[in-house]
Structure 1
């Protein structure tokens, strides 16, 4: 697969966005929050994401080393993306692929990431 533009949203659609992602880069993390959330992620530079609506509806949650800002909708509670900084200093967004329109997560082969050990 190559990079494509996808649209996504939270459950109530208060938060909506467009993002350029390569779904071949999907990963599934085993840290405490990702395990409970059931998210499958793909990451991209923050410049590849446009928040179309819902900036005022976003909550922020951090835990552990507080390197990621987990952004969830204050209305429906769905975390559709997270923001952080890549090791090279690039502002980055992690998109919950379950929030993208037209993406069947069950057909992807995400690589496993051991976030529990961090």
Structure 2
């Protein structure tokens, strides 16, 4: 069943094809400061509709696009290659939505996986 979400001011709304079974907490300097919990999807499973505009931040390698709302500042989504092999796979892109922004979704009922981004990159 599809789940909807939005930034605080609703300038950016999105819908994912199904509720996440797990979410990821990354300990890198950026993710830990933003406080996001990431739910990963194939691009075809996500519809993102910026009502006004979205902004993006790219850090260090410039590979991962971190989307955020320029009006209210909420971290909304990332566009990233798949990293499951330890290398960036640009043939298999992923979109991660900030699960904290999902409507009618109980984060306390899903497992949180921690990635040691602080020491990995």
State the TM-score, normalized to the length of structure 2. 0.84
Which runs of at least 4 in structure 1 moved beyond 4 Å after TM superposition?
Answer: none
Contact 1:83/1:94 (<8 A) preserved: yes
Residue 93 of structure 1: aligned partner? 95
Q: Are residues 101 and 85 of structure 1, via their aligned partners in 2, closer, same or farther at CA, if it must alter by over 3 Å?
A: same
Where 1:27 maps in the other structure, the secondary structure is strand
Tell me which moved more, 103-112 or 37-46.
Answer: 103-112
The alignment status of 1:83 with 2:85, answered yes or no, reads no
User: Match for 1:12 among 9, 12, 16?
Assistant: 9
User: Where do 1:37-56 residues align within 5 Å?
Assistant: 37-54=34-51, 56=52
Gaps of 5+ in 2: 83-87
Residue 114 of structure 2: aligned partner? 112
Report the number of matched residues.
Answer: 114
Q: CA RMSD in A?
A: 1.6
User: Match for 1:63 among 55, 59, 63?
Assistant: 59
Gaps of 5+ in 1: none
1:11-52 per-position Cα deviation (integer Å, ceiling 9, x unaligned): 000100111245223111100111111111111111111123
